[in-house]
Structure 1
């Protein structure tokens, strides 16, 4: 995936996080139990963190880094995107519908976040520092 696409996706997911957070604070506050509102807000929090991580990956891909680093930053960003849809998305669906079927999807999303961070670290370790 190209950095331009990742910047756009990261920006959209960040903006959507703002909207979902406002929706939770104003629209869902009286409709959901405190527990389900907390579940929804956990989804928003993780979405924000990983949307920013996607933006960071895109920016790092623009630097003159080894091709291997760029490849693994892109893979990390893809894992973060999948993680947002699976982790945050399943929490949103669970909170809004109460259908517990969405619950088992959440750990897969969390695993994708962890894989993404592992790939991020691997990409960072491929960068050779230049002494100046």
Structure 2
């Protein structure tokens, strides 16, 4: 088969047996450059905490105290349920899910911060937005503390400013 292909193309024997040079990329330098960014590590921690809090909100938010009481042979008392005063359980769960959703989305967005023009500004705004917006929503959903809700819009503004800073 090689004989016929060589005759068809009419390439000299020496050139036909030589292989093209392989491009050499230094993947270690590329990986080191991007993995050394503290924003990727912060994004990983934020993403992991978003998943843990999401699982807690989906499975343990309302029944956590019953599990602990049964494990230690205590009288079951719905400790966490007593905090839910103003809103219904479904409303508190919706607040918790909103906080978790924004926490998770912006943890993923933190992964892109090393590649933007001003990574510290963008990362700081996203991280601050997660702490203020998601943190106040988590606090409200878990404890029923309505006082922290007044700070939630500031976290939302930090999210918006973070996305705009990513554009600049």
Shorter-chain TM-score range: 0.7 to 0.9
Contact 1:44 1:88 in 2 (8 A): yes
1:70-81 matched pairs, under 5 angstroms: 72-81=118-127
In the alignment, the residues of structure 2 paired with residue 43 and residue 25 of structure 1 have an alpha-carbon distance, to the nearest angstrom, of: 13
In the alignment, the residues of structure 1 paired with residue 130 and residue 140 of structure 2 have an alpha-carbon distance, to the nearest angstrom, of: 14
Which piece of structure 1 moves more, 27-36 or 5-14? 27-36
How many residues were matched structurally? 111
Deviation for aligned residue 1:74: 2.5
Contact 1:6 1:77 in 2 (8 A): yes
| Runs of at least 5 residues in structure 1 that lack an aligned partner in the other structure | 62-68, 123-132
- Are 1:14 and 2:61 counterparts? no
Greater RCO (Cα-Cα under 8 Å, separation 6 or more): 1
Deviation for aligned residue 1:56: 1.0
Deviation for aligned residue 1:42: 0.5
2:134 to 88, 107, 116: 88
1:1-132 matched pairs, under 5 angstroms: 4-30=37-63, 31=81, 33-58=89-114, 60=115, 69=117, 72-122=118-168
In the alignment, the residues of structure 2 paired with residue 89 and residue 55 of structure 1 have an alpha-carbon distance, to the nearest angstrom, of: 20
Runs of 4+ in 1 over 6 A off after TM superposition: none
Where 1:103 maps in the other structure, the secondary structure is helix
Deviation for aligned residue 1:97: 1.1
In the alignment, the residues of structure 1 paired with residue 98 and residue 36 of structure 2 have an alpha-carbon distance, to the nearest angstrom, of: 27
In the alignment, the residues of structure 1 paired with residue 111 and residue 53 of structure 2 have an alpha-carbon distance, to the nearest angstrom, of: 19
Q: Which structure features the higher share of helix residues?
A: 1
Where 1:104 maps in the other structure, the secondary structure is helix
The normalised TM-score by structure 1 is 0.78
| Runs of at least 5 residues in structure 2 that lack an aligned partner in the other structure | 1-34, 64-80
Greater CA radius of gyration, 1 or 2? 2
